[in-house]
Structure 1
Amino acid sequence: MRQLFPRVWYLFRRRQLEGDLAEEMAIHRAMKQQELEQGGLEPREAMSVTRRALGSLALAQDRSRDVWVPRWLQGLGQDLQVGARMLRSTPLLTTVAVLSLALGIGANTAIFSLVDRLLLRTLPVKQPERLVVLSTSQRLGYLAPYSFATFDQIRQSQLFDGALAFTNCCLKSALTIGNETQSVDRFFVSGDFFTTLGVRALLGRLFTPADDMPGGGASGPVTVISYRLWQERFGGAASVVGTLITVDRTPVTIVGVTTPEFFGVEVGKTFDVVFPIHMQFKTRDSIYYDVDTPYLNVMLRLKPGQSLAVASAALRAVQPQIRAAAMPRPSNPEFLKDPMMLEPAGAGTPALRQRFERPLVMMFCIVALVLLIACANIANLQLARGIARRHELSLRLALGASRWRLARQLLTESLVMAILGATAGLAFATWANRALVAQLSTFATPVVLDLAVDWRVLAFTATAMVATALLFGLAPALRATRAAPVDALKEQGRMASEGRAALSSGLLVVQVALSLTLVVAAGLFVRTFERLGRVTLGFDRDRVLVVTVNAQLVPDGDRNRLYHRLVQTVAAVPGVAHAGGSINPPLVGALVGDVVVSPPGTPPPPDAQRVSQ
């Protein structure tokens, strides 16, 4: 540490310190010469003796400089300066290479950001590797809905270190503060949701089981808000805890604020407000009032040392007892018939990963091929540049430079080019990330991902930068320093041309092979995309607009009249041919259950939810 500060100080005051060093050496030389002159030597002879005694001034400066900065670091700085100067001397070639690298590295960085967020990163909770989600053998890879009665029985079984339940995130609610109302995203959780996850509050407190009661606990109806809502709506005020707000015409008290990194347990979704499950039970006509309605997702925390296989076997062993205790009334033979399954949930619920894992892996392979093609192309350009500098390199070899020193110089030039490409690639990736998230989002399932550049993305970009510099720079550097100095000077590139032709031909073969692979893959992708565009959906999708309406502030008895009035008003707008209303628009994939419509007098199928008409 004592050596570090002088070296850092030297970097900031290099010119002044080197000037002081040169002045001090000149003083020593003058003092030595004066001493010799006083001893009887002539001034010219005294100067000559002084030079022989003190040695080379430049060499002494180099040795003194080594105390401040290691020699290898000085050499690297010189290589970087020479490399930057050489790149400036061929601006067109440098621009083409940097743009190619920016496209390749930027595309890889953008896809890696998505892969990292969706597939690799764990939830920001305590010991996420012990979290599992409850599913069934028929819905493996997807969340299976369970009733509150089923969740309660699992929680009481004491098979796990903790159990929590939550509804799908996120539905819209109307948040009213004073005279201002805005739409917010909300979901419901069990009282032990935050405790089981091991999440702490940024301000105030989080839910406890005492809050998860019909009508609220001792504090009444309460809510926890996200960091985002706290900043955007309340300006980050610490006094937000205890504030009374109105959500869907229900007064609730804010008891806490979550940390910035916590977004819930569903990757790709985020919330503004969260409520205890039993707050849904405020009305008897709510479908959630019935504890037998399957609408909850269940997540469990394994006990320390408990494996997934052991926990799954223990759960299936008590499934008959859970089924008997949670059986709805009237009895349903299909209830919990499929074996319960446990899936790892340390990275969040599996739905979004299941949906995008294969496409993302495929895209990652494609952009990796694009980067390889760019490397092969730049390697050819570097070979051409090496031929043009053949005499320069030969002269350096003849003057005593080692082949390793020249190869290091050429590799440093490639590294400078890769640094420029990676910097531009990061800017491209930032734009591409927003475009990719927009492509992943749909009307029914919007995707929210924070793809800000962090140390993981920077580490990946740096690794890609170094790897590409070696890929396109190593072979040309070795080729350029292979010939003997005398032979290269005499033949002026004949052997170089032959060697370059062989290496260039090999790189050309690699480019063609990779390009053909990409062309075939792109053709298959376009063909599949066209076929999907021609799939018959069962309805006319031409000139159809879908509009959502949040009527939470309208009393329950007036909502149907509001919907009918909206349909009539929209139908009367000039240019509108037809207008209609629906709980779920086509293809949104948000059906509560299977509904069988039976005409009067027709016996319905057994064990089916049904409505009569």
Structure 2
Amino acid sequence: MTTFLQDVRYAFRQLQKTPGFTITVLLTLALGIGANAAIFTLVNSVLLRNLPVADPKTLLRIGDRNDCCVGSLGPRDNGDYSYFSTDTYERLKKSLPEFEELAAMQAGFGYRPIIARRDGAEAQARSVMGEFVSGNYFRTFGLQPAAGRLLTDADAAKGAAATAVMSYDTWQREFSGNDGVVGSTFWVNTKAVTVVGVAPRGFYGDRMMTTPPEFYLPIQTMPMLANALYVDDPEENWLYIVGRVKPGTAVPMLQEKVNATLRQIYSEKKVFSGEAGKIALPKVHATLSAGGGGIQSFQDGYASQLHLLMAISGLVLLIACANIANLLLVRGMARRTEMSVRTALGAMRGRIVRQLLTESVVLAAMGGLIGLVVAYAGTRMLLLLAFPGAARVPIEASPSAAVIGFAFGVSLLTGVLFGVAPAWIAAQAKPADALRSSTRTTAAGASWLQRVLVVLQAALSLVLLVGAGLFSQSLNKLQGSDLKLDATNRYIVHINPQAAGYSTAQVEALYRTMEEHFHAVPGVVKVGISNYTPMEDNNWGNSMRVQGEPDLHDGASFVKANADYFDSVGTRVVMGRGIGVQDTLSAPPVTVVNEAFVKRFFKGKNPLGRRIGSPDNPGDYEVVGVVEDTVYQSVRWKDHTMYFVPIMQRGVSETGPIEKDTSLYAGTMVLETSRPMNDMEAIARRTLAGINPNLTVVLFQTFSAQIADQFTQERLVARLTTLFGGLALMLAALGLYGVTAYSVVRRTPEIGIRMALGAARSGVVGMILRAAAIQTGIGLAIGIPVALLSVRFVKAQLYEVTSADLRVMLGAILALGLAACVAGIVPARRAASVDPVQALRSE
């Protein structure tokens, strides 16, 4: 330990003697390690992080997919189920004693916000996320309240008083941690609810989301609070199930029992009583998956991009290490006299190697500490890029213990990696070298290794530059796609009439009132009302059939909208008519289909006057028009079949009570204005509040912003690959500059002799540049096939890009070649300015 401390102190003294070298190495390391630590922060938080609950390893989820949000139970080709009805959950809970607790939670709460207002005249209603959960939800996760109490089975009993648990973040942010919140009354969707407690600090729910729940409410209060009649429907799936298994439980045996129990439950369901159901029943199963990481919807969306960015940042770190190794080689050669003297005085080579390695590790550790600062700033930047506009993503930019450990590990690895070869070569100095002052003494091994490192840097830089070009090209293709939408002076206002207390029998009058009030606003041209808008993450769909035609066993997405809707989003009618003001609840049911629907279901024939509907009731709607194929949800969704129904109409076969038809609730307004209106959000809030104080704005966006949000992940990858590619190019250029400059210093006597014998300065410049060009050329020869091969690994993340475009490849080659010229010209000009007399005199 004493020797080690001596080595550390000596390392600091040596680094202080060369501040330029030390600063260059530390900045290079900080960028390399900081980039990796920033990406790892996201990887750790999104992909590796467990829920902040007790013993997450003992949690199992029944199901392994993110089915959402409410769906009718029915036979499936693969028989795989991941969300369930309330009845199925209750029966599984009773039949599976292998679970200590089995909790259920709402699958799609992100699409069904609630409106909450604390009791009091001064309080304002807010649209927030609320999740409906089972009474043992918090008990299953082993959590304790921050204040008050958590939900219990008694809260979830039918007929129990409505209660709720508030999130810790909301308690602090909105109510400053006031204990008086516990026991107070809140109006949730206009119904009185008592807040009985506050969830523990750091708990963000059973899944990671950009908008975590602010209130947790019992499942059995959902029919009253949200008019969700499917809660008690035994054939409507809407719940995820997570449980904590008892110690010693054999998971494979439990898996078999879950499947057998599920088949027994489903065998009693009406939809499995027919011939098709009996054939599908033996396939019914639910895969048990790890529940400690939470429901994985958020993780699945970012996994491939984060893995890719981690690999790219690793390549940048490798280039940084190669660059630093070159610097250490140059420094090692400058210290060869010192090494020779130490060897002559009896120092063992192993001792010298250890001292030089200690210097490398000290440098790496210092770079790692600075890298953590870079990682903190980088993580904040990544969060802004990855989740624009999200205020409460449960990811901390501050380095966690895992990130600090990662940075330390990377620092130690890089310290050894870039320190071994230079230390070994420097330690080969012979004692006789101490007696020589001639600069002809060379280190062929060091020179060869430096060139190899430069070639490696050039090759890796080309790969990253090509990758940056491909992802930028993919992003440009996505953003340049013809969406068949018009976002000019369009504004999206999300609303929730159901949460504002309106019944389905009241919404027709509400929609007329909204249209009248917003048309009265100066500058408003169109007021489109629909259940959702084109480029938001939402999709309603049904199985469809044309009357008189065979069942194609295919489905289509549908949108319910008013007469202004098509004009408000910029969709053109190409045949027949669009939805009209005459298409009311009492009028004959009609529909408008898109061109893809005509191609698929009508084989391109004229659809006007034909009838479509569900496979069992294909005569529900008469087709009165055709619209162009507007993009909905994703540009990548090709041949997206869609049909549009007047917002208040129901199919001929839909004869049930209107009070149970929740599809009549609109979710958005699209406002088209004659000019840009920067105060439209405030106008929308005032206008809605003038109709009903509980009718709040759930979310306000410009149409352009909504479209741009669909490309967030692609934009993140494109920008970061470009950033990493530029960083790699800069590091490669610095590496080439260092090797070329070192070569010029080492060859100064040779250059002096050449010039004394008549060599022209241009010839000397050409000689130095040729050497730099050869190394770059070898790097290109290696990097081009590697880049072409790498495309196949990222092709799935590219849009309409299947190979390395010639322009991308030539651009990357040109950028690397230009950087090599810039890196080589400075030492080449220095070589050409060598004074032959001074060079020969030094001999």
User: Counterpart of 2:59?
Assistant: 131
Aligned-residue offset at 1:561: 5.1
Match of 1:340 among 285, 294, 299: 285
- Cα deviation, 1:317-355, whole Å, max 9, x if unaligned, reads 223321144547999976996623222222111222222
Are 1:273 and 2:218 an aligned pair? Answer: no
Change beyond 3 A, Cα 1:564–1:451: farther
Aligned-residue offset at 1:239: 4.6
User: Counterpart of 2:172?
Assistant: 231
Aligned-residue offset at 1:516: 2.6
User: Counterpart of 1:99?
Assistant: 27
> Residue type of the partner of 1:99?
L
Aligned-residue offset at 1:102: 1.8
Change beyond 3 A, Cα 1:285–1:406: closer
- State the identity as a percent: 32
Aligned-residue offset at 1:284: 9.2
Are 1:206 and 2:206 an aligned pair? Answer: no
Are 1:291 and 2:233 an aligned pair? Answer: yes
Query: 1:252, 1:197 → 2: CA distance?
Result: 24
- Cα deviation, 1:150-201, whole Å, max 9, x if unaligned, reads 2222222235413211113444333323322244322110111122222222
Aligned-residue offset at 1:376: 0.4
User: Counterpart of 1:19?
Assistant: none
Are 1:481 and 2:427 an aligned pair? Answer: yes
Change beyond 3 A, Cα 1:492–1:571: farther
> Residue type of the partner of 2:169?
R
Query: 2:400, 2:276 → 1: CA distance?
Result: 51
Change beyond 3 A, Cα 1:446–1:332: farther
Match of 1:108 among 14, 17, 36: 36
Are 1:164 and 2:103 an aligned pair? Answer: yes
Match of 2:266 among 319, 323, 333: 323
User: Counterpart of 1:241?
Assistant: 182
User: Counterpart of 2:131?
Assistant: 187
User: Counterpart of 2:330?
Assistant: 384
Query: 2:209, 2:239 → 1: CA distance?
Result: 19
User: Counterpart of 1:173?
Assistant: 114
Contact 2:60 2:292 (8 Å CA) reproduced? yes
Are 1:580 and 2:528 an aligned pair? Answer: yes
Query: Which runs of 5 or more residues in structure 1 are unaligned?
Result: 1-69
Are 1:147 and 2:85 an aligned pair? Answer: yes
Are 1:612 and 2:612 an aligned pair? Answer: no
> Residue type of the partner of 1:264?
G
Query: 1:154, 1:404 → 2: CA distance?
Result: 67
> Residue type of the partner of 1:282?
M
Change beyond 3 A, Cα 1:436–1:559: farther
**Map 1:303-318 → 2, pairs under 5 A:** 303-318=246-261
Are 1:594 and 2:542 an aligned pair? Answer: yes
Contact 1:143 1:349 (8 Å CA) reproduced? no
Change beyond 3 A, Cα 1:563–1:479: farther
Contact 1:214 1:281 (8 Å CA) reproduced? no
Aligned-residue offset at 1:504: 0.5
**Map 1:393-542 → 2, pairs under 5 A:** 393-441=339-387, 448-490=394-436, 492-537=438-483, 539-541=485-487
Corresponding residue SS for 2:532: coil
Aligned-residue offset at 1:85: 1.0
Query: Which TM-score applies when normalising by structure 1?
Result: 0.78
Contact 2:185 2:194 (8 Å CA) reproduced? yes
- Cα deviation, 1:11-61, whole Å, max 9, x if unaligned, reads xxxxxxxxxxxxxxxxxxxxxxxxxxxxxxxxxxxxxxxxxxxxxxxxxxx
Query: 1:250, 1:375 → 2: CA distance?
Result: 62
Query: 1:138, 1:416 → 2: CA distance?
Result: 47
Aligned length: 538
Contact 1:383 1:476 (8 Å CA) reproduced? yes
Aligned-residue offset at 1:83: 3.7
Query: 1:200, 1:332 → 2: CA distance?
Result: 49
Query: 1:393, 1:263 → 2: CA distance?
Result: 58
Query: 1:436, 1:522 → 2: CA distance?
Result: 17
> Residue type of the partner of 1:474?
V
Aligned-residue offset at 1:569: 5.2
- Cα deviation, 1:459-484, whole Å, max 9, x if unaligned, reads 00111111112222221122122111
Cα RMSD of the aligned pairs, angstroms, is 3.6
Change beyond 3 A, Cα 1:229–1:136: closer
Query: 2:266, 2:410 → 1: CA distance?
Result: 53
Change beyond 3 A, Cα 1:602–1:261: same
Which of the pair has more CA radius of gyration? Answer: 1
Query: 2:158, 2:358 → 1: CA distance?
Result: 68
Query: Which runs of 5 or more residues in structure 2 are unaligned?
Result: 68-77, 545-557, 559-588, 591-608, 621-649, 653-843
> Residue type of the partner of 1:339?
V
Corresponding residue SS for 1:262: coil
Aligned-residue offset at 1:379: 1.0
Query: 1:465, 1:265 → 2: CA distance?
Result: 35
Contact 1:174 1:552 (8 Å CA) reproduced? no
Corresponding residue SS for 1:263: coil
Aligned-residue offset at 1:233: 2.7
Change beyond 3 A, Cα 1:432–1:215: farther
- Cα deviation, 1:471-520, whole Å, max 9, x if unaligned, reads 22221122122111222541645343423211111211221222232233
**Map 1:44-63 → 2, pairs under 5 A:** none
Contact 2:86 2:231 (8 Å CA) reproduced? no
Corresponding residue SS for 2:294: coil
Contact 2:263 2:285 (8 Å CA) reproduced? no
Aligned-residue offset at 1:267: 2.3
Query: 1:575, 1:478 → 2: CA distance?
Result: 76
Match of 1:250 among 191, 198, 212: 191
Corresponding residue SS for 2:530: coil
Aligned-residue offset at 1:377: 0.9
Aligned-residue offset at 1:394: 2.9
- Residues 515-524 or 596-605, more deviating: 596-605
Aligned-residue offset at 1:147: 1.8
> Residue type of the partner of 2:228?
S
Contact 2:49 2:293 (8 Å CA) reproduced? yes
Point out which structure has higher relative CO (alpha carbons under 8 A, 6+ apart): 1
Query: Which TM-score applies when normalising by structure 2?
Result: 0.58
Change beyond 3 A, Cα 1:284–1:138: closer
> Residue type of the partner of 1:369?
L
Query: 2:40, 2:178 → 1: CA distance?
Result: 36
